[in-house]
Amino acid sequence: MSHVPVRVHVAAAAIFDDQGRVLISRRPVHAHQGGLWEFPGGKLEPGETVANALRREIHEELGITVHAARPLIRIVHDYPDKAVLLDVWRVDDFAGKPAGCEGQAIEWVAVGNLGEYPFPAANTPIIKAVMLPDCYLITPEPGPDHSRFLGALERVLARGVSLVQLRARQLSTADCRALVPAVLHRCRQANARLLLNAEPALAAETGVDGVHLSSARLMELSARPLGTEYLVAASCHTQEEVLHAGALGLDFVVVSPVRRTASHPDAQLLGFGGLQCLTEQALLPVYALGGMQLSDMDAAFRHGAQGIAAISGLWI
């Protein structure tokens, strides 16, 4: 009988400064995965909550006091010699100046530069979560009045939305291709990334930031359809779809429906409990979709989600 290692529960922190940089530390050479960079943290003690372990470990390792933190992502990963559960929280409010209190090297790194540092394999989805915002806007159908649609998009982008899916299923491919440059221009002006709900080839052709796959298109694939220079996301409703998206190395998924929506009134609802069941199986960040409003953000975080995805809840 093969030996099954005890899963080590680790509390880790993605700590951000006021410039939007994230703090990483280097593991000691003699440690497991030694010499690689990581998000600071450590093992929970018996009976300790994740929040308390996070505060203790961060104070011991960095000499700072965490004032406010919230869940970011939970990842289960099995190395050949070790099994881990990484409970990662986002920290935006702390007191003190971080230092390597245990002799470890630390660095503040721009989020876009994290790919330049070698991390353990278990950290890959954490890096993806760090690089994603907590809101994912899905546009309504553009309709025939593109000027009105673009004006509404400008207003939404001005409120800080930084990840957008252009959903234009009612447009022909030619009309969609013609609309994309205007949408992309507005997203670029607002430092927002744009994904197309379309064939991956169209995303590559039009120069957008990525593609959003339907669940049907996802399940037809046996490999990631675009390179890592693009974001690739997918809609998921079941554990099978979520696991397949992770196996393909996608960047994130949208899970729905959490709540009832006018567009799908008869769909079987997941609820927040069902959402959590899927986030616990996921190997990548998960957005909650279906009747979501900004007021649902904290509930989404508590149930393991990256944040919320919405049409009407954000297109206001």
Write out the chain's pLDDT in tens, 316 residues.
455 567 889 999 999 999 999 999 998 777 666 789 999 999 999 999 999 999 999 999 999 999 999 999 999 888 877 888 899 999 999 999 999 999 999 999 999 999 999 998 889 999 999 999 999 999 999 999 999 999 999 999 999 999 999 999 999 999 999 999 999 999 999 999 999 999 999 999 999 999 999 999 999 999 999 999 999 999 999 999 999 999 999 999 999 999 987 666 667 889 999 999 999 999 999 999 999 999 999 999 999 999 999 999 999 7
Lookup: tokens for 174: 């030619």
pTM of the model: 0.92
Q: CATH for 7-118?
A: 3.90.79.10
Residue showing tokens 């100046």: 97
Lookup: tokens for 158: 């001005």
Q: What is 135-310's CATH superfamily?
A: Aldolase class I (3.20.20.70)
Query: Residue 40 corresponds to which amino acid?
Result: P
Measured CA distances, 217 to 25, 176, 188, 195, 282 (Å): 39, 19, 27, 15, 19
Give residue limits of the domains in the chain: 7-118, 135-310
Question: Can you tell me the distance from the alpha carbon of 223 to that of 294, in angstroms, rounded to the nearest whole number?
Answer: 34
